[in-house]
Amino acid sequence: MNALLPLIDTAMAAEQFARFRELYFTERFGVPAVREHPIGDGSPGDVDSGPLILGFGPAATIVGSAACRMNGDAHHAAEFESTVHGFGFSTGIDRKRYVFGALPIADLFIAWVRTMPCTTPYSGAPMFKRFHLWCGLLLLLLWSPVLVRWWRARG
């Protein structure tokens, strides 16, 4: 609804979008996403939401990007679109498909979101420094047995 409300009532849209940001925007391991349910509600996903990953929904993140675009939050729109692109298993060069083309509805929603106008330009790139730090830590933990063996063999 936050994606369409600015077309109906801009004042109410601004109020609702501020509440939406407060209750639904989240970050897991440095990856920005939109929760399926408000903070504090641990309900499981349903047939419409698809699988929930650590509380956030891929579908909610896709549509959340549209809400950001329509409400002038270009920064979060770019971040959510980058999350979808990064974790959407995109394939193709000339004709991009997500989730290996297995879920055409995802492609449809992504195309719909990208047609939404954004009232404020965003020239920067999304920052995923925390995500990269988490990945570096995970790689260090995964490779630590090999590094320890190498260190002992060397000394």
Dihedral sign (CA 77, 78, 83, 89): positive
What is this structure's pTM?
A: 0.70
Domain locations in the chain? 5-126
Closest CA to 50 of 41, 58, 42, 39: 58
What per-residue confidence (pLDDT) applies to 40?
A: 81
pLDDT score at 13:
93
pLDDT of 11 reads 94
Q: List average pLDDT for each run of 10 residues in the chain, which is 155 residues long.
A: 89 94 85 82 68 76 88 86 73 65 71 79 64 75 86 83
